Chains A and B, each alone.
Chain A
C-alpha cells in the first residue's frame, strides 16, 4: 500500500520551547493511524503542521505527494480536519454551518445541498438541522464539528481528540462513524489520549510523549516491546501512601517494576498470579489497605508505562 502521508523530522518550537521534536512516520492509504499521547505531548501541534496551519520550524511532510510547506493549497484539498476544539458558528444552524463550510471547500449548488443532507444523516442530526448550534448538547456540537470535516470527502481525515468531554453514548457513535468512514475508504489520522480508543480503532499506533515519537507499530508489535508481561493495578485507600507501597513492592521477587499512577500502584510482572499473594502480604505488612486489584494483559497503557515510567492519563 502506498503512503498517503510521510512526515520527516517535523519539528515545531514556540520560542524557546520545543513542542514537537522532529517526528518521522508515515500513514498508509486506507488505514487508521492513531497518535496516542498524554496532554501536552504535541498531538495538536503535529496536526496543525500537517494541516498547514502552522509552518514547521524544521522538517517537512508530504501528503498525497504534496509538501505541506511548499504546496499547502494542494495539501488542503486532500485533507479534512476535525479540530480538537469546536470550530463552528454557534449562531448559525447546523445546516447553515455545513453549507458555509462546504462552500469554503469549493462545493456549491445542488451537489452541496445533497452532500449537506448526506452528512446530516451520517452525524444523525437531520431532525435538528435547523436549530442553532448554540442550542445543541456538547455531543451534538462535536458531531457537527466532525461533519464539517467530512463534507468534501477528503482522502485523509485528521481527527484531533474528537471524543474529549462527551458522554459514552456520543463517544460510541463517533467511534463507529470513524470505523464506517474508514470502511468506505477514508484514511484517518486519529489522535487521542485514551488507549482504548487507539486500541479499538487503529491499524497502527504512534506513541508520542514530550514531542517525541517514542514507539510506532501495530498494537501487537508495541505490546511485544513490553515483553510477556502483565500489569497488576492496586487501588488503595485514600489515606494510604502509594509511594511507600510502590517502594516496598519493588523489592518483591517477580516484580519487574512498580510505579505510582494517580493514587494507584501499577506493577509489571511476568505472571500476575505468582506474585499476587506476595504483593498482598507486603501491603498488609505495611498496614496499607488494598481496596481492589486488576490484572491486565499487556496493552498500550503498559507500553507507555514501560517506556516512560508514567501513566498515560493524569
Chain B
C-alpha cells in the first residue's frame, strides 16, 4: 500500500517537473477562462449573461399568502433578468409546456400549501405535508438547476421561519392564546418577509458576483460556467497524459524495473492510477484556487466542491485508463486523448451550454464526466447544498467504477512487462 502511494506521489512530482505538461494542464485552462471572461465582459462589470430569461411557468393553486409570496419571488426585480415566469391555472398544461420544451420548469403550488405550513382557523390537526411540485426538463439541467436553487432557497427560508417562529404561533393557537385571525395575519407577515429581496438573496446565495457587478442584480456568473468547463476539459488531458505515462514507463524500462522489484503488479498499476488521480485532483484544485483568487469566483460550499472534484477526477481517470488499455503506444494515447478531450468538452457542454444543444447530444453527453461535473459545479455555484450533488456524484462514481472494471479486464490481456 505504501508503495502504491509512493509511486503515485512520484508521478505527481514528475508532472510538476514537466514544463510542457504544466502549460497544458494549468496555464491553458486558466488563460482560456480569463479569455472567456474578457470576451463576455465579465470583468467590465457588465451583466452579460449567458443564461438569462429562463422560461418557467408557475401554477398557483394555493392562492394564499405563501403561494403568492413565491410567485412574487420569481417576479421580483432581482430575478427579472434571469427568469421569465408566466402564470397558469392548469397544472396539466404547465407540465405539457415542460414536456414540449417550451419552458425549463413548472412550479406547481398546490392548494392548501399555506395552510399546511401555517394552520389557520384553529384547524391545524393532522395537516399532511402539502408539497410544491417542481417539474423540470431533464434536458436543461443547468437552467433547471438555477430555478431549483431559487425554489430551494425559498423553501429552506420557509423552514427556518417555521421552526423558529411559526411553531410557536400554532402552539399559541392550540392553547387558545391568540385567535385564528391573528394567526392568519402572522402568516401574511411571514409571506411578506419571504418576499424581501435581502432575505431571498441570502437564502439562495444567488448573488455570486455581487463584488464585481455593481448593482444588486442576481445573475449567474458566467465564469462559474467557463472556469469549471475549461478545468474539466483539461482534466481529460491530464488523465490521458497520465495514461500515456504508463506506456511510456513501459517503453523506457522503468515499469519493467518496478515489476522486478519486490512490488506486485497490482501495487504498480494501482500506483500509476493513483498518480493520475492525484495529478487530476491537484490540477482541479489549483485551477479552482486560482479562479477564486484572481477572479473572485465563488465555487460554493468548499467541502461539496472538494467531493465533486474528487468524483469528477475519479470518473475522468476511468476514461484515462480505458484509453490507455486500448492504445498500443504512448503516441496513440496522445492523439486519442486529445480527440477525446475535445469531443468530451463539446458533448459535456464546455463550449456551449448543454441546454442549448439538441436532446440527442445531451443524452450522449451523459457518458462524459464533463457533463455530470458541470451539472454539479453549476448547482454548487448557485448555492446548492451537498444534497443536490447526489446525482452527479453517483453518476461519476459509477462511471469510474465501470470504466476501471473494463480497463482492468483489458489490461489483464496486455503484457506490461514486455518493452
Residues of A within 8 A of B (CB): 48, 51-54, 73, 76-77, 79, 81, 83, 85-89, 91-92, 96, 100-101, 103-106, 132, 148
- Interface contact B261-A89, CB-CB below 8 Å: no
Q: Give the interface segment out of B126-134, B252-260, B298-306, B332-340.
A: B252-260
Chain A CB within 8 A of B414 CB? no
- Whether the pair A53, B260 counts as a contact (CB closer than 8 A) is yes
Cβ of B111 < 8 Å from any Cβ of A?
no
By the criterion CB–CB under 8 Å, are A54 and B417 in contact?
Answer: yes
Contact A100 B10 (CB under 8 A): yes
Chain A: which residue is nearest B261 at the CB level? A104
Q: Given A77-B262, A103-B3, A104-B3, A92 and B417 touching (CB < 8 A)? A: no
**Complex formed: what's the CA distance from A132 to B254 in Å?**
16
Residues of chain B within 8 A (CB-CB) of A104 are 3, 6, 258, 261-263
> Could you show 6 A-B contacts with beta carbons less than 8 Å apart?
A76-B261, A88-B254, A89-B14, A89-B254, A104-B258, A104-B263
Please give, as numbers and ranges, the residues of chain B lying within 8 Å of A85 by CB-CB distance: 253, 419
| Cβ proximity bits B25-36 to A, threshold 8 Å, 1 near / 0 not | 000000000000
* Top 10 A-B pairs, shortest CB-CB distance: A87-B253, A87-B257, A104-B261, A76-B262, A91-B17, A51-B260, A87-B254, A53-B417, A85-B253, A53-B260
Q: B329 — which chain A residues lie within 8 A by C-beta?
A: none
Bound together, the chains give a CA A92 to CA B249 distance in angstroms of 14
For B251, the closest partner residue in chain A by CB is: A85
Tell whether A83 pairs with B253 under 8 Å between CB atoms, given A91-B14, A100-B10, A104-B3: yes
Shortest Cβ gap from A133 to chain B (Å): 11
Kindly state the separation between the CA atoms of A77 and B257 in the bound complex, as whole angstroms.
13
Does B418 belong to the interface (CB within 8 Å)?
Answer: yes
Q: Mark B392-419, 1 if CB is under 8 A from A, else 0.
A: 0000000000000000000000000111
Question: Which A residues are in CB contact (< 8 Å) with B14?
Answer: 89, 91-92
The residue from A52, A54, A83, A92 contacting B257, defined by CB atoms under 8 A apart: A83
State how many angstroms separate the Cβ of A64 from the closest Cβ of chain B.
13
Closest residue to B415 on the A side, CB-wise?
Answer: A54
Q: Is B264 an interface residue (CB 8 A)?
A: yes
Known pairs A53-B260, A89-B10, A103-B2; list 4 more (Cβ under 8 Å).
A100-B6, A101-B261, A103-B3, A105-B262
Q: In whole angstroms, what is the CA distance A83 to B417 when docked?
A: 13
- From 315 to 365 in chain B, residues with beta carbon under 8 angstroms from any chain A beta carbon are none
Please report the C-alpha to C-alpha distance between residue A271 and residue B260 in the assembled complex, in whole angstroms. Answer: 50
The 0/1 profile, CB within 8 Å of A marked 1, for residues 5-18 of chain B is 01000100110011
CB nearest to B3 among chain A residues: A104
CA distance A53 to B257 in the complex (A): 9
Closest A residue by C-beta to B252: A87
Within 8 Å CB of B3, what residues of A? 103-104
Within 8 A of A (CB), among B221-254: 252-254
Closest B residue by C-beta to A14: B418
Q: Are B260 and A81 in contact (CB under 8 A)?
A: yes
Of the residues A52, A91, A103, contact of B260 by C-beta under 8 Å:
A52
How many residues belonging to B are interface residues under a CB distance threshold of 8 Å? Answer: 23
Smallest beta-carbon distance B6→chain A, Å: 5
Residues of B within 8 A of A89 (CB): 10, 14, 254
Q: How far is the CA of A85 from the CA of B254 in the complex (A)?
A: 10
CA distance A51 to B253 in the complex (A): 14
A103-B6 in contact (CB<8A): yes
B6 proximity list for chain A (CB < 8 A): 100, 103-104
Please give the distance in Å from A293's CB to the nearest CB on chain B. Answer: 43
Distance in angstroms from A231 CB to nearest chain B CB is: 37
Q: Give the docked Cα–Cα distance between A104 and B17 (Å).
A: 21
A105 / chain B contacts, CB cutoff of 8 Å: 261-262
- Which residues on A sit within 8 Å (CB–CB) of B257? 81, 83, 87, 101, 148
Q: How far apart are the CA atoms of A85 and B251 in the complex, in Å?
A: 10
For residue A87, which residues in chain B have a CB less than 8 angstroms away from its CB?
A: 252-254, 256-257
A54, B418: Cβ atoms closer than 8 Å = yes
How far is the CB of B13 from the nearest CB of chain A, in Å?
A: 7
CA distance A193 to B419 in the complex (A): 21
| Chain B residues with CB under 8 A of A100 | 6, 10
A residues near B261, Cβ cutoff 8 Å = 76, 101, 104-105
**A96: which B residues are within 8 A, CB to CB?**
13
Contacts of B263 in A (CB 8 A): 104
Q: Name the residue on A nearest B14 (C-beta).
A: A91
**Alpha-carbon distance between A103 and B256 when the two chains are bound, in angstroms:** 16
B258 neighbours in A (Cβ, 8 Å): 104
How far is A86 from B259 in the complex, measured between Cα atoms in Å?
A: 15
Tell me which residues across on chain A come within 8 A of B13, comparing CB atoms. 92, 96
The answer for the CA separation of A48 and B419 in the assembled complex, in Å, is 11
Q: Once bound together, how far apart are the Cα atoms of A81 and B262, in whole Å?
A: 12
Report A173 CB to chain B, min CB distance, Å.
22
Instruction: Give the complex CA separation of A73 and B261 in angstroms.
Output: 8
How far, in Å, is B159 (CB) from chain A's closest CB?
Answer: 53
Cα A103 to Cα B418 with chains together (Å) = 23
B-chain residues with CB within 8 Å of residue A53 when the two chains form the complex: 256, 259-260, 417
A88 to B254, CA, bound (A): 6
How far, in angstroms, from A132 to B18 measured CA to CA in the complex?
Answer: 12
A76–B268 Cα gap in the complex (Å)? 15
Residues of B within 8 A of A54 (CB): 417-418
Q: Is the CB of A83 within 8 A of B10?
A: no
- B-chain residues with CB within 8 Å of residue A73 when the two chains form the complex: 262, 264
* A105–B267 CA distance with the chains assembled, in angstroms: 13
Q: When chains A and B are docked, how far (Å) is the Cα of A54 from the Cα of B415? A: 10
Which residues in A have their C-beta under 8 angstroms from that of B417? 48, 53-54
Give the residues in chain A near B252, CB-CB below 8 Å. 87
* Residue from B252, B253, B257, B419 having most chain A Cβ neighbours under 10 A: B257
Q: In the complex, what's the smallest C-beta–C-beta distance from A247 to chain B, in angstroms?
A: 42
Most buried by A among B13, B14, B254: B254
Minimum CB–CB distance from A84 to chain B (whole Å) comes to: 9
Find the B residue at minimum CB distance from A91.
B17
Which A-chain residue is minimally distant from B256 (CB atoms)? A53
User: In the bound complex, do residue B260 and residue A76 qualify as a contact, i.e. CB atoms below 8 Å apart?
Assistant: yes
Closest to A105 in B: B261
